[in-house]
Structure 1
Amino acid sequence: MSTFSIFLVLIIIVSFLLVVVIMVQNPKGGGLSSSFGGGGTQQLGGVKKTTDFLDKSTWILATVLLVLILVSNIAIDGATGTTESKALDSDAATSMPAPVKPATETPATPIGTPEN
């Protein structure tokens, strides 16, 4: 398994966990739900420890995701030895040289010019 695949799998797992943790949280402020009449369904008390855990885990997962993205970029660039992305290099696909026509024995004369 290549370095790229390992980082890709880790980034996908952390991203999925971050989405789940964010979706589980209760909305803290008004936002769109309160402007459309959904603000009255919020609980006033709630469990403080669960809220703290979800809040901390959101920040930790977001930090881990950012670090994974940065480290994967450095590790992949270091493995290839280049600082340029090959995926964005438009010349990489067309790096094969164009065929060269063989030279003719006599040069062609333009039409309308007299030959000497």
Structure 2
Amino acid sequence: MFWVIIGIIVLLSVLLAAVILLQNPKGGLASGVAASQLMGVKRTSDLLERLTWGFAIAIMALVLSTAFVAPTSQATNEDGTVNIKRNRTKSAPAIQQPAPAAQPATQDTAKP
């Protein structure tokens, strides 16, 4: 599913680039006489603008959706980063308990 979404994103990106290139009325492909006679200059720019916004919004939505369908790796005891592996190979230093503090001898000060 993840790779299907990535493929759709790539396809929409190529189409978005083509639509953006078509929008330049002074030197783009839509400035030809046949294009302006077929749909009219005003209607062509409206359609191309709507397509641009539609492709851009679709790409953003698909990119955000990949976070939910992206494959995740389950880390086991044998897997992990380099630092985790390195840390497992080191032996842990022995923890020494502090010596108990010497307690003063109690003297019986009571007189009989």
Shift in Å at residue 47 of structure 1?
A: 1.5
- Of Structure 1 and Structure 2, the greater helix share is in 2
Q: Percent identity?
A: 32
Superposition RMSD on alpha carbons, in Å? 3.2
TM-score of the aligned structures, taking structure 1 as reference length: 0.51
CA deviation vs aligned residue, 1:19-74 (integer Å, no higher than 9, x gap): 1100111259xxxxxxxxx9xxx8xx861111111010000000100000011112
Unaligned 5+ residue runs, structure 2? 75-79, 92-112
Q: What amino acid maps onto 1:71 in structure 2? A: S
1:25 maps to 2:23: yes
Q: What amino acid maps onto 2:72 in structure 1? A: T
| One of 34, 56, 60 as aligned partner of 1:62 | 56
Unaligned 5+ residue runs, structure 1? 29-37, 83-91, 102-116
Q: Which protein shows a greater Rg?
A: 2
Shift in Å at residue 5 of structure 1?
A: 1.5
Aligned length: 75
| One of 1, 12, 15 as aligned partner of 1:14 | 12
Greater relative contact order (Cα < 8 A, sep 6+): 1
Shift in Å at residue 100 of structure 1?
A: 4.0
Shift in Å at residue 81 of structure 1?
A: 8.2
Cα gap change, 1:27/1:74 in structure 2, threshold over 3 Å: closer, same or farther?
farther
CA distance in 1, matches of 2:8, 2:90: 48
TM-score of the aligned structures, taking structure 2 as reference length: 0.52
